[in-house]
Every structure is written in structure tokens, then in C-alpha cells.
């Protein structure tokens, strides 16, 4: 296996030979580090996208613009050596791990990309400014890495929707690919923040995925003569969360086209999403659903 290059500057990144002189197709996987098998799945999916003749670049950058007051910027794990090993094993050609000064050479940028109304709902309401910071760094990293395709996990459904909208609205010449959420054997969605959960909190956190699965199962049990409504799906999920030792931010059935609450007559794709604080750790999860078609 080829050794994965570790790059720290834009100059090093731009000097990286194009896909070994082969097709030149490049995929990028953007992360904030603390890589786990969910990230490795993204890297493996990127390799499948570009083939052995292509090139996969993983970015590792804890973006300060995405963290609001009182959030866990300083606590966020930084494990670059381990991240490099995970990326290499998953098939990455290079890891780009720039400093904050490299990404923002003049300090925090005065000009930023705004998520608009779509970025002010749900996670945007809970974390004001988060998506503006995310979109700004994604735009910068797309310019720096110059990929043909960028892959993002579906666990961060609102992030994925906003990146897709940014690429479309601002004519970024890159394909945006969503990769299904990777889960632990017990159903908990993989997250770098899971390491902050105590044993008891981790057990409590399983209520999030179980609530989503309850909503999914309610929809799957529907029949043409007894269709499942969005209200019934929400109710099934909420019943699991009632009484759980967590602080619920939201449980919502969302229209992914604009990230508004799905109406009672919604048909087509939807996202059942939940966010809650378990102990001191805030977790999010979601599953895609389709109304009006077999699950």
C-alpha cells in the first residue's frame, strides 16, 4: 500500500502529483479529525468513486468558525497521528492538515458564505453561525483541494443539504456525494463526540437511534388502506424518547429540499432527525424516509 502523504500547507497540496499521472480524478473527504470507522467508510467510498487510478485527499482541520461561545472547540479531540493511520488504511493518498493560520492567513475572514434561511433552522437555530462557518471553510477547502467530487456523511444531513445547495447556487464545479451513516452494532451513530459519553450516558444515547428506528418501522408497517402519516411517524419516535434521561433539542420530520418541517400530506423523501444533550455531550442523528413509496 502506498504511504499516505501528510501535507500542512497549500503549497505542498498544490505540488501533490495528479493521481500518479493516471486519470487525474480527485475525491476529497473533509473532516475535523478524531477519525473513526465512519470517516474510514467515507474514504473507502471516495476510493470507489475515483478508482485505483484516482486520488483521495482527506482534510483534517478543526474549524474555529464552526464553534460558538461555550462550545467544545478546545475540548475537541486532536489525534493527527492516529488519523493518518486510519486514512492510510482506508486508502487515502494524502492527508491535508493545515493550521488555522494556513486556512485563515489574515485571521477570521471578513467575507463569509451564509447558509440563509435553510441554515438558520434546526442545527442552525441551536448553534447560531455554525453553518456559515462550515460553508466558509468547505468553500475554502474545495478551492484548495480542487476535487472532482467531495463526499459527506448523511449523519450530518443539514450540512450535506447546505453543501449541495452551495455547490448548486454558486456553481462549484464539483460533485457532492452523500454516504450513509455508519452505526455501532447497537445502533448508535458513530461520532467523534461519543468518546465523551460515560457508560451510563452511552446507554441513554441509544434512545436516539431507537426513536428513529421506531419512526421508520411505523412507516414500514403502513399499508395502502392504512398509510402512515408524518404525525404517526413523529409520535412513534417521540414515544421512545419520552422518559429518557436526556435533554431533547428537537425531533423533527424534515423536507430535505429546504429543511422545513414536513407537512401532514408530505410525499417523497424526508429526514427524521433528532438532536439531544446526553450528559454534557450534544448528539445528532437522522434516518432518511420516503413517504408514498415502499420503504
Which active-site residues does the annotation give?
39
User: Is-contact 150 144, C-beta < 8 A?
Assistant: no
Please report where in the chains the cell 501528510 appears, as a residue: 6
Strand partners, 288: 271
Cell readout for 43 is 474514504
Nearest to 115 by CA among 96, 94, 138: 138
User: Hey, how many other C-beta atoms are within 10 angstroms of the C-beta on 164?
Assistant: 17
Specify the length of the chain in residues. 295
35 burial (CB, 10 Å; 0-12 / 13-18 / 19+) is: buried
Angle at 243 between CA 238 and CA 248, to 5 degrees: 60
206, 180 contact by CB (below 8 A): no
- Shortest CA distance to 133 belongs to which of 85, 71, 186, 83? 71
Number of H helices, E strands in the chain: 9, 10
How far is the C-alpha of 277 from the C-alpha of 68, rounded, in Å? 16
Please tell me whether residue 185 adopts helix, strand or coil conformation: coil
Give the whole-angstrom CA distance, residue 72 versus residue 247: 18
To 5 degrees, how large is the angle CA 201–CA 41–CA 216? 60
Amino acid at each position: 500500500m502506498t504511504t499516505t502523504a501528510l501535507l500542512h500547507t497549500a503549497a505542498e497540496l498544490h505540488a501533490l502529483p495528479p493521481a500518479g499521472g493516471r486519470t487525474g480524478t480527485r475525491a476529497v473527504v473533509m473532516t475535523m479529525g478524531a477519525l473513526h470507522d465512519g470517516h474510514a467508510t467515507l474514504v473507502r467510498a471516495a476510493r470507489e468513486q475515483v478508482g485505483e487510478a484516482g486520488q483521495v485527499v482527506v482534510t483534517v482541520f478543526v474549524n474555529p468558525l464552526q464553534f460558538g461561545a461555550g462550545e467544545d472547540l478546545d475540548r475537541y479531540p486532536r489525534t493527527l497521528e492516529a488519523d493518518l493511520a486510519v486514512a492510510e488504511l482506508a486508502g487515502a493518498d494524502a492527508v491535508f492538515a493545515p493550521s488555522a493560520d494556513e486556512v485563515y492567513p489574515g485571521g477570521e475572514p471578513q467575507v463569509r458564505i451564509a447558509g440563509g434561511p435553510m441554515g438558520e433552522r434546526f442545527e442552525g437555530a441551536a448553534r447560531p453561525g455554525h453553518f456559515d462557518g462550515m460553508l466558509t471553510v468547505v468553500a475554502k477547502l474545495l478551492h484548495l483541494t480542487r476535487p472532482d467530487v467531495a463526499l459527506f456523511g448523511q449523519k450530518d444531513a443539514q450540512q450535506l443539504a447546505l453543501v449541495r445547495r452551495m455547490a448548486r447556487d454558486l456553481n462549484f464545479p464539483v460533485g457532492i456525494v452523500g454516504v450513509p451513516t455508519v452505526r455501532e452494532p447497537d445502533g448508535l451513530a458513530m461520532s467523534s463526540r461519543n468518546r465523551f459519553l460515560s457508560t451510563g450516558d452511552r446507554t441513554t444515547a441509544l434512545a436516539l437511534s431507537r426513536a428513529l428506528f421506531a419512526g421508520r418501522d411505523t412507516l414500514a408497517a403502513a399499508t395502502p388502506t392504512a398509510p402512515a402519516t408524518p404525525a404517526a411517524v413523529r409520535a412513534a419516535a417521540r414515544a421512545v424518547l419520552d422518559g429518557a434521561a436526556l435533554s431533547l433539542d428537537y425531533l423533527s420530520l424534515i423536507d430535505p429540499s429546504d429543511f422545513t418541517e414536513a407537512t401532514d400530506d408530505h410525499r417523497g423523501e424526508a429526514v427524521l432527525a433528532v438532536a439531544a444533550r446526553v450528559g454534557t455531550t450534544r448528539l445528532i442523528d437522522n434516518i432518511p424516509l420516503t413517504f408514498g413509496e415502499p420503504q
